[in-house]
Amino acid sequence: MTRTAVVNDYQHPQPGASSTLTLDERVSQEILKNGIKRPKGYTVSYHSNPEVEKMHFGPKHPMKPWRLTLTNKIVLAYGMHEAMDVYVPRAATFLEMTEYHKDDYIQFLSWVTPKIKLDMETSNVIPYNMGDDCPVFDGLYDYCSLYSGASLDAARKLTNIQSDIAINWSGGLHHAKKAEASGFCYINDIVLAILQLLLYHPRVLYIDLDVHHGDGVEQAFWSTDRVMTLSLHKFDKATFFPGTGGSDDTGPKNSANPGAHHSLNVPLHDGIDDESYVQLFKDVVGPCISTYQPTAIVIQCGGDSLGGDRLGCFNINIRAHGACVEYTKKLGLPLLVLGGGGYTPRNVARLWAHETSVCLGTELHPSLPAHTPFIEHFAPDKSLYPELSQTGRYDNKNSGKYLRDIVASIREQLRYVQGSPSVQLQHVPPDLGAVRDEVEREIQEEREARDLGRRRKERGAGSRGEYAH
């Protein structure tokens, strides 16, 4: 029996053939193909701890930390990590998280387990708004401390001038309150990061692109002129979580309060499209910048404002969402870029990978690299930019007149902002305790008037809770 046929059938791979390329070589090809290189004149840092990706809210819960795995795999497949300073941040400490949150709440998060939670349900005592929307799962405290630590690390890289744009896609959990969980959010890493920025920056502008109102951040800085909050979101007080963020919610009603007119809201209806959204963003952010003159910006890039999101109701595509980040980046201020909502993981991953490229000033090839792990999850097109505006499309209920009225309302509120506040940085207390105490009093007064109905919305799994959509 001869072996000649077997030998002849074997074809030695030619040099450079794709079958013999190592992963590093394939990534290097993508870097060359997409022209990825370190930005000139500024530094981008990327803050990611892989331990966050392992957390699991439960099989039926819309929040999937695995979306971070998909995001990071796309970033690595394109080779964007080669153009950034990449950090694996440590977890936030108990003391760091109590810079804003109450001690007893953080202590509760540190020891509660699913079994303890079950015992509490039996006795009909479930504290701190834990429930269907905000479940207790194994590793909850580690999850909270890890994503919060990443946002704090990113903020510190900005204040230390080690970075000009700092990215943490695991952060942006904007619903969490001082002493309770809300809307899938337990620790408000955004507030912690802004407090860090305020130690060095006199004024911070917070921009929220999530489809849900950034109520937790707004409440935290309700009574200070050191932070201006601007949230673009779907608003329906009766049926859409959290039911806040109307155009008349502009801060304390007492004009003598420093926070008056510093909470700006852009309430939208279903179905806004790319062109309207991007133009609206520019029309409201531009005047905020020129009037308030922030020295740093934090932008929350919630992916649930994309078309086709499991909980969303807009018709926005990835490039349009990214155009808002691009506009913000071009302002040239220290920029903290955070994640947030987003409940169709493959599209959230595409979005955040694209917005990473925006921060780097790189235009990516639309076809995902063939070596991208889990690429089958992006079938059938395997594209970075699928057409999302037609996926589960909503009729656009935002008329041109309505959007012009919103812009006029924002400009009217800004008339009351008497220029940028003057701050003597050497007098800023390290923990900003006075600001937080004032905020707490303001929040408590408002809660007494509306808390009962709102708690029902947040806790329930019915039509009004974010979990239910």
Catalytic residue ranges: 213
Task: Name the CA radius of gyration of the chain, rounded.
Answer: 23
Alpha helices in 260-417 (DSSP H): 274-292, 318-329, 345-360, 400-415
DSSP 8-state symbol, 384: S
Give helix 318-329 / helix 274-292 axis angle, nearest 10°.
Answer: 20
What are the backbone angles phi and psi of residue 299, rounded to the nearest 5°? -125, 125
Q: How far is it, in rounded angstroms, from Cα 38 to Cα 269? A: 40
Question: What CA–CA distance (Å, rounded) separates 400 from 422?
Answer: 37
Asked whether the bond before 39 is cis by omega within 30 degrees of 0, the reply is: no
258, β-bridge pairs: none
**How far apart are the C-alpha atoms of 389 and 53, rounded to whole Å?**
28
Decide if 164 contacts 335 (C-beta within 8 A). Answer: yes
How far is residue 314's CA from residue 319's CA, in Å, rounded to a whole number?
A: 14
For residues 317 and 282, the answer to whether their CB atoms sit within 8 Å is no
Q: Which 3 state secondary structure label does DSSP give 297? A: strand
Evaluate whether 430 touches 436 at the Cβ level (below 8 Å).
no
| Cβ neighbours around 17 below 10 Å, total | 10
Q: Given 3-state DSSP classes, what are the helix, strand and coil percentages for the chain, each rounded to the nearest 5?
A: 45, 10, 45
Alpha carbon distance 250, 243 (integer Å) = 15
CA distances from 20 to 13, 116, 406 (A): 7, 53, 57
- Could you tell me if 261 and 384 are in contact, meaning their C-beta atoms sit under 8 angstroms apart? no
139/52 Cα distance (integer angstroms)? 10
Check if the beta carbon of residue 68 is closer than 8 Å to that of residue 48.
yes
